[in-house]
Amino acid sequence: MKKKSKKFSILLLVVCILAAAVYAGSRWYISSLKDTASPEISFDSDNLSVSVSVTQEELLKGVSAYDDKDGDVTDSLMIESLSALLDGNRRIVTYAAFDGDSNVGKAQRQIVYTDYTSPRLSLTEPLVSVSATAGSAELVKGLTATDCIDGDITDEMVLLSSNEEITVGSALM
C-alpha cells in the first residue's frame, strides 16, 4: 500500500510541476503579444511661427503620429501642455498620442508668437500719491495689467519696494 501512495505522490508532484510550467508559459506568451511600443510623433517643421490667437487645431496642423501595431494614430493626438513664455515670445508645445494598448508617445516643438506684445499696465482711476504709512491696497488701487495671451493678469502683478514685496491680487482682497 505504501508503494501505491508513493507513486501517487510522485504523479501528483509531476502534474503540479507540469501545471506550473503551462501556466508560466501561457503568461509569457500573453505578455509577448502585448504592445509596449509608444507611437512616434512627427512634425512637418520643428519650429512654428503663429499668432497669439492660435487655436489648438492650428497647433495640430502638420503633426502626425504612427504606431507600429496600430498604424496611423494621428486622430489620437492632443496638446498635453504649453510651457510658460521663454524669451518673451517663444513657448514649447508638448504633444501626446495614444495607441490601442494605451501606450503614450510624446514630442515637443517650439512655437514663436509673431504678434506678441508685453503686458500693458493701466490705471482705472487717477494716480494719487499716498503716505508711506498707507496700506498695500492703497498703493495699488486702480492699477491693472493685461496680457495679449492671458488677458487680465492683475492678480499676478507683484509690487516691489525697498521695504516689502506686495502681490497685487492679495493686496486688493
The three cell numbers locating residue 67: 504606431
Tell me 33's DSSP state: H
- Cα 148 from chain centroid (whole Å): 22
pTM given for the model: 0.66
Position 173 scores a pLDDT of 46
Position 60 scores a pLDDT of 93
Q: Note the pLDDT tens digit of each residue in 77-122.
A: 999 999 988 887 899 999 999 998 889 999 999 999 999 888 888 8
Residue 80 Cα distances to 17, 116, 134, angstroms: 49, 22, 45
Sheet holding 40-43, edge to edge: 40-43, 63-67, 71-72
Q: Note the pLDDT tens digit of each residue in 146-170.
A: 888 888 888 887 777 656 555 555 5
Q: Note the pLDDT tens digit of each residue in 2-57.
A: 777 788 888 888 999 999 999 988 888 877 777 778 899 999 988 899 999 999 99
From the CB of residue 67, how many other CB atoms can be counted at a distance below 10 Å?
Answer: 21
